[in-house]
Amino acid sequence: MAGFKSTEKYIATRDLEVAVNAAVTLQRPLLVKGEPGTGKTVLAHEIAGALGLPLIEWHVKSTTKAQQGLYEYDAVSRLRDGQLGDPRVHDIGNYIVRGKLWEAFEADEQVVVLIDEVDKADIEFPNDLLLELDRMQFFVYETRKTISAKHRPVVIITSNNEKELPDAFLRRCFFHYIRFPDRATMEMIVQAHYPDIRKDLAREALNVFFQVRDVPGLKKKPATSELLDWLKLLMVEDIPIEVLRSNEKQVVIPPLHGALLKNEQDVHLFERLAFLARRGA
Amino acid sequence: MFSHLVLALRAAGLPASVTEHLTLMAAMKAGVAEYSIEDFYFLARATLVKDERHLDKFDRVFAHCFKGLEPPEGVKVEDLPEEWLRKLAEKMLSPEEMEKIQALGGLEAIMERLKELLAEQKGRHQGGSKWIGTAGTSPFGAYGYNPEGVRIGQDESRHRRAVKVWDRRDYKDLDDTVELGTRGMKIALRRLRRFARQGAATELDIPDTIRSTANNAGSLDLKMVPERHNNVKVLLFLDVGGSMDDHIKLTEELFSAARSEFKHLEYYYFHNCPYEKVWKNNRRRHEEVIPTWQVLRTYGPDYKLIIVGDGAMSPYEITMQGGSVEHYNEESGTVWLERLSSQYRHSAWLNPTPKQSWGHVRSISMLNDLMEGRMYPLTVNGIDEMTKELSR
């Protein structure tokens, strides 16, 4: 099988490649954490693309139960059918609704499963999936059948660190923490997304971007996804480079800052800094 | 092989387990690391570390364990590791090998000597000034599992590669024993939320379902109600002024974040030690005081009490009647603290000063005794421990 490497669209650092390849080779889940906007969810798409496998996405919410990923027994519609005398009621199999993991296990080829934002769910959620992810099989009580994976799927799990994950769960995973990319990596990422961007524009924009990230006290530091959005805006609006250029000491509010700063306190902070800088000059 | 890395990690407090060790072995066998040291580092990290808080510790332990891993001059990086990997795979301990080790003065003695050397190396963060193992090819000399005996040379390494990844210590600020920064604060408060929110959203309302089904002439009509959340009630006492000025930002951050996490959160300010009055508004602290008795009467014992303060004061302020620096207090701080902790069975003291310095300040240890040892540092770890204690 071809290993996972940086693609034209997605720049993966070497440590990420190693982690992904380890998870794929040993068929264990890969847990990915990192600042919001560093490409955790996109990673699953890229892995699926690189390995040429279909992707099954399971987005977890606060109300999601582990069981829903396997199957659900729709007792209510069966009861209703029973009351109405529908003949379907005699086969319990008609009321088993398949979940995402079942789909993945039953698939005829290996698939990539993304369990997105696992920490959003209840604290017991990961524990309830231990055996299923370990053995890649589960038992359907209603029909007395064991569903086991035809091909062990590649499982990618993302977390925003809202909850502590149980040790037993962690022990079964590989772990990767996506660090915020450094300047060189960021340049590659920009290049990958906008190959036809003007070199000087990219350079100045990155200067401003890293300057913004360095401002102490920002509530939400802009991340990669924000930078990409902002660059796109800059290109569409055709902003002259001079606007971005500033001497080192001065803080300027970047043009179209709405794409970078997502919080009115942060914008306010910037306005204050810019005001102080102007007065100082 | 590599078991010494796992053992060293465990000794450093990282929860690495046998399962993970075996996973690492399997991954090595499957050739994931492709015989490059850096890949091996990445692989070991992905396998053994499961929390970014531990990444820095891992880097340190890794550097410590694999000191001397850099190849000697003239040998290509790509050429070497394959050799040691294979060599090490063959080297499982046999009885004769054990004897050899015994002959060298016993495993213990060797380990002791190695520990000393490793400790020395810890101080320096550059690679390769001291080598442990045979010609630097075997990292496992470090813990004495080397049949040829342990040779400790002191070669100056002339060839030093660019700074190694694990020596860069990129994850330093994610370590959970440092005092809280803004990011740490966020994570810590998620801990607090752990006992504030439990259980998922909906459950079946049986009485209502029965009533509604009956109304429907027997055809089923399900009624759901939102599941009751665990309503945690928190009473927060914050020290202001004086020696707390240094910690005010930290306390403010904690407070503002705590406010959004709890439905029932009441806060009061005090100075140094809680006495008979507290206040809600710092600007009007002298006009709008609230008797502590009133607080005790208003908020029942189901509240959890968290006191935030550095506890740095004169011991008299705690033990003596009239000891307060600001006013004449009828009853001593001890009396008030005992009153508070008997009313609130779940109470804790959070202290923003580092735990190591507590022993030097007498008032802190006195307060700690009064709180029956429930004083915690204002770090992610500290808040974690406090949460565990409070949610018992």
- How much of chain B, in percent, has pLDDT values that exceed 90? 0
Q: Which domain holds residue B64?
A: 3-174
Question: Do A181 and A209 contact (CB within 8 A), yes or no?
Answer: no
Q: Are residues B169 and B279 part of one domain?
A: no
Q: Are residues B8 and B138 part of one domain?
A: yes
Q: Are residues A114 and A188 part of one domain?
A: no
Q: Which of B19, B52, B222 sits opposite A177 (nearest CB)?
A: B52
Tens digit of each residue's pLDDT (9 = 90 or more) over B336-352: 888 888 888 888 888 88
Give the integer Cα–Cα distance in Å for A158 and A118: 6
A266 inside domain: yes
pLDDT of A39 above 50: yes
- How much of chain A, in percent, has pLDDT values that exceed 70? 95
pLDDT of B129 above 50: no
Q: How confident is the model at residue B330 (pLDDT cuts 50, 70, 90)?
A: confident
Number of domains in chain A: 2
A7 inside domain: no
Q: Are residues B268 and B366 part of one domain?
A: yes
- Between residues A69 and A256, which one has the greater pLDDT? A69
Mean pLDDT of B162-180: 52
> What pLDDT is recorded for position B228?
54
Query: Which distant-in-sequence residues (6+ apart) come within 8 Å of B62 by Cβ?
Result: B5, B41, B44, B45, B166
B208 inside domain: no
B212 in contact with chain A, both atoms CB, cutoff 8 A: no
> What pLDDT is recorded for position B87?
45
3-class secondary-structure state, position A230: helix
Give the integer Cα–Cα distance in Å for B206 and B391: 30
B313 inside domain: yes
Q: Do A162 and B194 touch (CB under 8 A)?
A: no
CA distance A23 to chain B (A): 9
> What pLDDT is recorded for position B145?
39
Strand partners, B239: B270
Give the integer Cα–Cα distance in Å for B338 and B342: 6
Nearest partner of A132 among A185, A220, A69, judged by Cα: A69
Give the integer Cα–Cα distance in Å for B265 and A81: 48
Q: Are residues A190 and A100 part of one domain?
A: no
Residue at which a domain ends, from B174, B190, B213: B174
- B192-195 contact pairs (CB < 8 A, 24+): B192/B258, B192/B261, B192/B262, B192/B383, B192/B387, B193/B261, B194/A123, B194/A163, B194/A164, B194/B387, B194/B391, B195/B230, B195/B232, B195/B387, B195/B390, B195/B391
> What pLDDT is recorded for position A127?
84
Question: Do A96 and A78 contact (CB within 8 A), yes or no?
Answer: no
What letters, b where the CB count within 10 A reaches 16 and e where it falls short, cover A214-241? Answer: eeeebeebbbbebbbbbbeebbeeebee
Give residue ranges of A with CB < 8 Å to any B CB.
Answer: 14-15, 18-19, 21-23, 25-26, 28, 30-31, 33, 62-63, 65, 76, 79-80, 83, 121-123, 161-165, 167, 170-177, 179
Chain B residues lying within 8 Å of A21, measured CB to CB: 32
> What pLDDT is recorded for position B14?
80
Q: Which of B10, B28, B37, B47 to mutate to test the interface with A (most CBs of A within 10 A)?
A: B47
Give the integer Cα–Cα distance in Å for B100 and B95: 9
Q: How many other CB atoms sit within 10 Å of the CB of residue B279? A: 18
Q: How confident is the model at residue A265 (pLDDT cuts 50, 70, 90)?
A: confident
Q: Are residues A174 and A194 part of one domain?
A: no
Tens digit of each residue's pLDDT (9 = 90 or more) over B280-289: 877 666 777 8
Q: Are residues B75 and B55 part of one domain?
A: yes
Mean pLDDT of B177-193: 55
Please report, to the nearest 10 degrees, the dihedral formed by the alpha carbons of residues B19, B21, B22, B28 taken in order: 150
Q: Do B46 and A123 touch (CB under 8 A)?
A: no
Residue at which a domain ends, from B157, B174, B191: B174
pLDDT of B391 above 80: no
Q: Are residues A219 and A155 part of one domain?
A: no
> What pLDDT is recorded for position B247?
74
Global model pTM greater than 0.80: no
B50 in contact with chain A, both atoms CB, cutoff 8 A: yes
Query: Which distant-in-sequence residues (6+ apart) come within 8 Å of B263 by Cβ?
Result: B196, B231
> What pLDDT is recorded for position B181?
54
Question: Do B41 and B62 contact (CB within 8 A), yes or no?
Answer: yes
Q: Are residues A189 and A156 part of one domain?
A: no
Q: What is the amino acid identity at position B320? A: M
Nearest partner of B191 among B355, B51, B58, B379, judged by Cα: B379
pLDDT of B257 above 70: no
Tens digit of each residue's pLDDT (9 = 90 or more) over A142-169: 888 899 999 999 999 999 877 778 888 8
Q: Which of B39, B202, B219 sits opposite A83 (nearest CB)?
A: B219
Selected residues 145-204 of chain B with any CB under 8 Å from a CB in chain A? 165, 170-171, 187, 190-191, 194, 198-202
> What pLDDT is recorded for position B107?
47
CA distance B186 to chain A (A): 9
Q: Give the domain CATH number at A59.
A: 3.40.50.300
Residue at which a domain ends, from A143, A178, A213: A178
B52 in contact with chain A, both atoms CB, cutoff 8 A: yes
Q: Are residues B197 and B300 part of one domain?
A: yes
Q: Are residues B116 and B25 part of one domain?
A: yes
Q: Are residues A121 and A205 part of one domain?
A: no
Give the integer Cα–Cα distance in Å for B29 and B9: 21
Mean pLDDT of B163-192: 54
First to last CA, chain B: 41
Give the integer Cα–Cα distance in Å for B85 and B95: 22
- The mean pLDDT value of chain B amounts to 69
> What pLDDT is recorded for position B183?
54
B206 inside domain: no
CA distance B151 to chain A (A): 33
Give the integer Cα–Cα distance in Å for B196 and B263: 9
Q: Are residues A74 and A41 part of one domain?
A: yes
Q: Are residues B187 and B169 part of one domain?
A: no
Q: What is the 8-class DSSP label of residue B206?
A: H
Mean pLDDT of A53-70: 89
Number of domains in chain B: 2
> What pLDDT is recorded for position B121?
47
Tens digit of each residue's pLDDT (9 = 90 or more) over B211-228: 888 887 777 777 777 665
What residue in B sits closest to A30 (Cα-Cα)? Answer: B46
Element (H, E) at B278: strand B277-279
Query: Which distant-in-sequence residues (6+ apart) come within 8 Å of B120 by Cβ?
Result: B130
Q: Do A83 and B220 touch (CB under 8 A)?
A: yes
> What pLDDT is recorded for position B127?
39
B49 in contact with chain A, both atoms CB, cutoff 8 A: yes
- Between residues A107 and B63, which one has the greater pLDDT? A107
> What pLDDT is recorded for position B190?
59
Give the integer Cα–Cα distance in Å for A39 and A7: 14
A with B: how many residue pairs have Cβ under 8 Å apart?
90
Q: Are residues A111 and A197 part of one domain?
A: no
Q: Do B39 and A14 touch (CB under 8 A)?
A: yes
Q: Which of A162, A164, A179 sits opposite B170 (nearest CB)?
A: A179
Q: Are strands A154-159 and A30-34 parallel, antiparallel or unpaired?
A: parallel
Give the integer Cα–Cα distance in Å for B362 and B374: 16
Tens digit of each residue's pLDDT (9 = 90 or more) over A164-183: 788 888 888 899 988 888 88
Q: ∠ CA A257-A263-A265 to the nearest 5 degrees?
A: 105
Read out DSSP for B172-186? Answer: GGG-TTSBP-HHHHH
Chain A residues lying within 8 Å of B209, measured CB to CB: none
Q: Do B194 and A80 touch (CB under 8 A)?
A: no
Mean pLDDT of B15-29: 86
- How much of chain A, in percent, has pLDDT values that exceed 90? 17
Q: Which two tokens stand for residue B226?
A: 């939102």
> What pLDDT is recorded for position A156?
93
A203 inside domain: yes
A137 inside domain: yes
Q: Do B46 and A162 touch (CB under 8 A)?
A: no
Q: Are residues B133 and B84 part of one domain?
A: yes
A1 inside domain: no
B226 inside domain: no
Q: Are residues B235 and B301 part of one domain?
A: yes
Give the integer Cα–Cα distance in Å for B150 and B102: 12
Give the integer Cα–Cα distance in Å for B379 and A58: 34
A9 inside domain: no
Mean pLDDT of B149-173: 44
> What pLDDT is recorded for position B60?
83
Class of residue A209 by CB neighbours under 10 A (exposed 0-12, middle 13-18, buried 19+): buried
A215 inside domain: yes
Q: How confident is the model at residue B144 (pLDDT cuts 50, 70, 90)?
A: very low
Q: Are residues B311 and B252 part of one domain?
A: yes
B215 inside domain: no
Tens digit of each residue's pLDDT (9 = 90 or more) over A195-253: 888 888 888 888 888 888 887 777 778 888 888 888 888 888 877 777 777 655 555 67
Residue at which a domain ends, from A156, A178, A200: A178
> What pLDDT is recorded for position A31?
93
Q: How confident is the model at residue B170 (pLDDT cuts 50, 70, 90)?
A: low
Q: Are residues A230 and A119 part of one domain?
A: no
Q: Which of B19, B42, B198 sits opposite A18 (nearest CB)?
A: B42
> What pLDDT is recorded for position B102?
54
Q: Do A26 and B38 touch (CB under 8 A)?
A: no
CA distance A102 to chain B (A): 23
Q: Which of B23, B51, B199 sits opposite A26 (nearest CB)?
A: B23
Chain A residues lying within 8 Å of B185, measured CB to CB: none
B17 in contact with chain A, both atoms CB, cutoff 8 A: yes
> What pLDDT is recorded for position B131?
42
pLDDT of B118 above 80: no
Q: Which domain holds residue A42?
A: 14-178
Tens digit of each residue's pLDDT (9 = 90 or more) over A183-195: 888 888 888 888 8
Q: How confident is the model at residue A280 (pLDDT cuts 50, 70, 90)?
A: low
Give the integer Cα–Cα distance in Å for B27 and B20: 10
Please report, to the nearest 10 degrees, the dihedral formed by the alpha carbons of residues A241, A243, A249, A254 taken in order: -110
Q: How confident is the model at residue A71 (pLDDT cuts 50, 70, 90)?
A: very high
SS3 of A38-57? CCHHHHHHHHHHHHCCCEEE
Q: Are residues A123 and A203 part of one domain?
A: no
pLDDT of B305 above 60: yes
Token pair 């409070």 is found at B390
A168 inside domain: yes
Question: Do B268 and B280 contact (CB within 8 A), yes or no?
Answer: yes
> What pLDDT is recorded for position A99?
92
Mean pLDDT of A112-140: 87
3-class secondary-structure state, position A197: coil
Residue at which a domain ends, from A131, A155, A178: A178
Token pair 């003065």 is found at B105
Q: How confident is the model at residue B302 (pLDDT cuts 50, 70, 90)?
A: confident
User: B116 to each of B5, B8, B113, B152, how far by Cα in Å?
Assistant: 17, 15, 5, 12
Q: Are residues A252 and A134 part of one domain?
A: no
Element (H, E) at A270: helix A264-280
B214 inside domain: no
Quick one: how far is CA B190 from the chain centroid? 14
Mean pLDDT of B143-152: 37
Q: Give the domain CATH number at B382.
A: 3.40.50
Q: Do B23 and A15 touch (CB under 8 A)?
A: no
Tens digit of each residue's pLDDT (9 = 90 or more) over B42-62: 888 888 888 877 888 888 888
Q: ∠ CA A88-A94-A98 to the nearest 5 degrees?
A: 165
Q: Are residues A156 and A232 part of one domain?
A: no
Nearest partner of B70 among B165, B172, B170, judged by Cα: B165
Q: Are residues B186 and B169 part of one domain?
A: no
- Between residues B285 and B354, which one has the greater pLDDT? B354
CA distance A69 to chain B (A): 16
Minimum mean pLDDT range among A103-107, A127-131, A214-218, B44-48: A214-218
Q: Are residues B253 and B170 part of one domain?
A: no
B316 in contact with chain A, both atoms CB, cutoff 8 A: no
Q: How confident is the model at residue A29 (pLDDT cuts 50, 70, 90)?
A: very high
